[in-house]
Amino acid sequence: MVTAQPTPDSARRLARENRRFFEIPSSTLLDRLLRLAPERSKVLAEPPPGSGLRPVVGDMALPFVGNGLAFLRWGPALQLDLYRRFGPVSWCKPLGNTTVFVTGPEATQVVVSNKDKAFGQGWDYYIERFFPRGLLLLQFDEHMFHRRLMQHAFTRDRLDWYFAELTTLADTAIARWPADRELQLYPTIKSLTLEIAGEIFMAADVGPERDRLNDAFVACTRAPLSVIRFPIPGGHWRAGIKGRKVLEEYFYRMLPSKRESVEGDFFSALCHAETEDGERFSDEDVVDHMIFLIMAAHDTSTITATTVAYYLGKHPEWQDRVRAEVLARPAGPLDIAALEQLKTLEMVIKECLRLVAPVPGLVRKTVKDTEILGQYIPAGVTVAVDNWVNHLLPEYWTEPEQFDPDRFSDERREDKSHRYAWVPFGAGAHKCIGMHFGMLEVKTILDAMLRNYEWTIPADYEMPWSYSSMPFPRDGAPVVLHRRG
């Protein structure tokens, strides 16, 4: 049964629950060994004489791997540590790729507003092999052209069609989840979001192929941060390459029928999108965009919905509050207008996106020499904006380690402390095109969960996040749902 107010004890526990995002652990031997590595400070590049710029300094960490291993273990805590030691701009060579780390809203602003067009896309190093020519992989004028054409798939009319489909599907599937025994929430939601993707993105029953497609997407998203970036047997890289083949084969097989008929789904929208001058996406464009879109939509929404369920299980007083809002909704179909009214749920989702940013970095590459806050950055280096860490800085958030959705209330609006303090959807030219859709999808899933079930998460359980790609729970996020009477 769900309880009410937190006790002083639980308040202390709650302060600890997010500690792992803020503090480098020393609980395992490997962590202790990594912490022992001596700092190897080094300048990235000397600024041109007379420029008045300062060099970027960083810690080279371990030979060969740089701080890649530490990042995989410590995630945002490592980035926060670099920020404290070197300031908003530092650098290293994780996995052999020279990378400038950019932290804090001021430095973020320089990169995402991209005033002198010095920052091109930088995701190619990580994901091009698996998601070639996805929207995020394009840059400057070409990117703008593709983004405008893709907007045809995100009009209000289209969103209405998607949500009429989505709410029924989510309601039916969630009502059938098993109760009163342990459920792995993360894979369960992942399977649901893939089903939603099948319906909304392709108007296709992916049923018989769901596992194969799911595995293929998982392989493609895990591969980019492989330490060994060659197709060795049993390796993530090779699995990613195989996954890409499976996806291409599937989408090219579906393409001719999508070109022929006009329907409400994304796939159809991309096949028929046209500029005023009659320009359209080629077959290759459509397939590349579809594969990227589904990846971009599916994992992010899954992680967010899982995180929200986790924090609501940890904070029953918030679960009660959000459920009361959901149950108070006037009778009638759950449409976009109704979802937009769920303000408490929205605050909770925003707080969860603050604490766990599903896309923890925005990756760019300098196309010419430039500077960030007076520090010199040469052309040709990767620049990673640590948007997650912006969410954790005490300069912008009160007690950032606390789960406190009220910080997003109209009275407080802590996210307004700086335009780039809360950036889970990125910002600038590449800001998430599916932001509205993603928020609505997560709300739909939580709405159905709250109406059907109650759940609590044991006080001593803490989600073991993996930072190997997007953050995800290594144990699948076990939870016991109790059906509401």
The site for ligand HEM (CB under 6 A) is made up of: 135-136, 147, 293, 296-297, 300-301, 304, 358-359, 362-363, 424-426, 430, 432-434, 437-438
The Cα–Cα gap between 407 and 425 comes to: 18
The Cα–Cα gap between 288 and 370 comes to: 31
3-state SS track over 327-387: HCCCCCCCCHHHHHCCHHHHHHHHHHHHHCCCCCCEEEEECCCEEECCEEECCCCEEEECH
Nearest CA to 367 out of 100, 117, 44 is that of 117
Is the sign of the CA dihedral 225, 372, 430, 288 positive or negative? negative
CB of 244 to ligand HEM, least distance (A): 17
Asked whether the beta carbons of 281 and 270 are under 8 A apart, the reply is: yes
- CB nearer to ligand HEM: pick between 159 and 255: 159
CB of 131 to ligand HEM, least distance (A): 10
The Cα–Cα gap between 18 and 21 comes to: 6
- CB nearer to ligand HEM: pick between 69 and 385: 385
- CB nearer to ligand HEM: pick between 34 and 127: 127
CB of 403 to ligand HEM, least distance (A): 18
Backbone φ and ψ of 466, nearest 5°? -100, 140
CB of 31 to ligand HEM, least distance (A): 28
Residue nearest to ligand HEM (CB): 434
- CB nearer to ligand HEM: pick between 226 and 301: 301
CB of 409 to ligand HEM, least distance (A): 20
- CB nearer to ligand HEM: pick between 164 and 480: 164
- CB nearer to ligand HEM: pick between 321 and 430: 430
Cα angle 101, 72, 16 (rounded to 5 degrees) comes to 95
CB of 387 to ligand HEM, least distance (A): 6
CB of 271 to ligand HEM, least distance (A): 16
Q: Give whole-number Cα distances, 336 to 158, 222, 363, 390, in Å.
A: 11, 33, 32, 30
The Cα–Cα gap between 281 and 424 comes to: 29
- CB nearer to ligand HEM: pick between 213 and 293: 293
The Cα–Cα gap between 11 and 315 comes to: 10
Asked whether the beta carbons of 414 and 398 are under 8 A apart, the reply is: yes
Helix axes 316-327, 283-314, angle to 10 degrees: 120
- CB nearer to ligand HEM: pick between 89 and 359: 359
> Burial of 21 by CB count in 10 Å (0-12 exposed, 13-18 middle, 19+ buried)?
buried
CB of 300 to ligand HEM, least distance (A): 3
